[in-house]
Structure 1
Amino acid sequence: MSNIVPYSFDGTNIRVLEIDGEPWFVGRDVADALGYADPTTAIRSHCRGVQKLHPLQTAGGRQEVRVLSEPDVLRLIVNSTLPTAERFERWVFEDVLPSIRKTGSYTASKAPLQKTLTRTQITGGLLLLRSFAEDFKLAPSALLGGYQRLEQQIGVPGLLPAYAVDAPASSIAGSSEETKSAAELLEIHGVGMSAIAFNRLLMQQGFLEERERPSSKGGTKKFKVCTDLEYGKNLTNPNNPRETQPHWYVSKFEELLELVLPAKPTVATA
């Protein structure tokens, strides 16, 4: 059972649905309010919750639209560069959600996500972590621990992307292992192949995939993402936080080579 609750933020309609006692936001409405040029790509890139589609009556007829949970709304907010993003955040978590809870249909025991930290405090915490990491040469695992504690303070489980793990998927949680780029590791292992050709093989066999993001100059820009976290992880691109750069675990690269490279034909002996 669901009810549509209409809201308006700066003239933009934000539709909120109550589904099984929980609020779900129409994804396109939120992305439009936050200034994303391509709402579909923004939702696909930033939202990590379980995808939920809901039938709604639109100008084009009845359609299945993507609706977002509270954590995914927060992910869109923190990734928006629009100056009004902070005000939109306050509007959602201080006005919209409390008003829904007052109806009694939403679980009152759930506190607003942003009661503990504001967007400004979150940004300050991130800057402080990065400063500590640079000044004290923190190990990647220590920095990851700091991000995890900040995530707990925000109150949004699973906010960190799945690739924010500093060891192979089979390793003990909290351990840290060295990673390098494909070009470096191919050279170390004496593989006579370019990183471009190797990436092509990785994509063919499902270890790597290509994704798109909106470009500031219009259109889209492609980047690659490691999909098998047993063999690699994705580092944030220092030139653009909306992109990742795949790195591969040094200890697992030889095994990865055996899986990816074509087997050499055996030579029959007389």
Structure 2
Amino acid sequence: MHLRTTMIDGQPWFVAADVCRVLGFGLAAGVSKNLTSVPRSDQRRLTPGQIGGKGMSTATVISESGLYKLIMRSDKPEAREFQNWVRRSTRRKFVGAAVGNQQNATPHHPSPGESRPRRKAA
């Protein structure tokens, strides 16, 4: 599985043709046919030299958000491995962030003389 990427404003963007190929989407009618579910704000056209590739003149790239949108809309068997990879990667990302937030959280301990909330009798 090979995806060409580029960084734009510190964020990864993915060559749409590579994503479509990995997901098993047809490219005969062009990449744009497969991008109808991806908002225009998550798509950009790059000119030659902005991203590597043999014989590339221009390329459409999609943001990380656009990537997830395409991945999750595919029901093709070719997409399953890719979907699983994304789920594992994002789960690690979110779990790591949640653990980091919990470690930085400061529990509230009442100061001396501060009353604690009373529990209602059952």
TM-score scaled by length of structure 2: 0.58
Deviation at 1:22, TM superposition (A): 0.7
Gaps of 5+ in 1: 1-8, 99-110, 113-270
User: Whole-Å Cα distance in 2 between the matches of residues 14 and 93 of structure 1?
Assistant: 17
2:77 equivalent in structure 1: 83
User: Whole-Å Cα distance in 2 between the matches of residues 81 and 72 of structure 1?
Assistant: 16
Compare relative contact order (CA 8 Å, sep 6+) and give the higher one, 1 or 2: 2
User: Whole-Å Cα distance in 1 between the matches of residues 6 and 51 of structure 2?
Assistant: 10
8 Å contact 1:49–1:72 — kept in the other structure?
no
1:51-90 equivalence runs, <5 A:
51-54=43-46, 55-61=50-56, 63-90=57-84
Structure with higher helix content: 2
Residue 68 of structure 1 aligns to a residue in which SS? strand
**Residue from 29, 34, 40 that aligns with 1:42:** 34
| Amino acid corresponding to residue 39 of structure 2 in structure 1 | R
User: Whole-Å Cα distance in 2 between the matches of residues 71 and 49 of structure 1?
Assistant: 11
Structure with higher strand content: 1
1:102 equivalent in structure 2: none
Gaps of 5+ in 2: 95-122
Identity %: 29
Q: What value does the CA root-mean-square deviation take over the aligned residues?
A: 2.6
1:180 equivalent in structure 2: none
Deviation at 1:90, TM superposition (A): 2.6
The number of equivalent residue pairs is: 87
